[in-house]
Amino acid sequence: MIAILKKELWSYFGNWSAWIIIGAFSFVSALFLFFFENDFNILDIGTASLQSFFMLSPWLFLFIIPALAMKSFAEEQQNGTLQWLFSQPLKISEIVSGKFLSVFLVGILCLLPSLVYFYSVYVLGVPEGNLDFGATLGSCFGLIILIAAFSAVGILASSLSSNQIMAYLLGVFLNFILYFGIEQLANFKLLGGADYLLKNLGFYHHFMAFTRGLIDTQDVFYFLFVIGLSLFLAKVFVEKKK
């Protein structure tokens, strides 16, 4: 698994794709948080809070993570190197795990420039340092585990496709449905009392609990279950290509 992780990280950072994605995430988030007139602009809100960042970030990662994950297996199959990978003394589970961790780590690195936002809001607070650290830390933990879930679903999408473009579109679609689609469907209140159960199937409901500073074991186990299930299914589909 470590060998696959190193190989994947080198492929991301060796050709500048990871640097471009990290830079793009930082640039776009900065524009929305400090320059564009929108509901996420921290200066317009007038509150020393990073909640805007934590509300905006999932939408950016929804498109960024599938872009990172799409090449995991789709590119290998497209280039004919997947069979070579199978010939190595590695288990399929190790290959899947290594590729998942590489996507997840690059996603986490996208968050590092956000330390600048934290410092800015900390200084702009009246008085200085007037920041809800509980909600901020909870939101940060929630965003990290959400990135992991997006990454696992992206790996699953790549394992289902033999084409990178299709893998990307499928990854975006699945993550969109899981993060926003299920929540919106539940809001139509078509199922009566079952709407709450439907909400619990989506990422949004569980992520919002973290943004309130609540780290509930149910929310953590939900995301761990989704991650585990996605990686298991990815392993099954990759084995079929062997």
Which pLDDT tens digit goes with each residue over 17-43? Answer: 889 999 999 999 999 988 888 888 887
The pLDDT score that the predictor gives to residue 203 is 94
172's tokens: 């975006």
The pLDDT score that the predictor gives to residue 193 is 64
The pLDDT score that the predictor gives to residue 191 is 63
Q: What is the DSSP string of 130-162?
A: ---HHHHHHHHHHHHHHHHHHHHHHHHHHHH-S
The Cα–Cα gap between 92 and 98 comes to 10
Regions in the chain scoring below 70 on pLDDT: 46, 48, 125-126, 128-129, 190-195
* Total residues belonging to the chain: 242
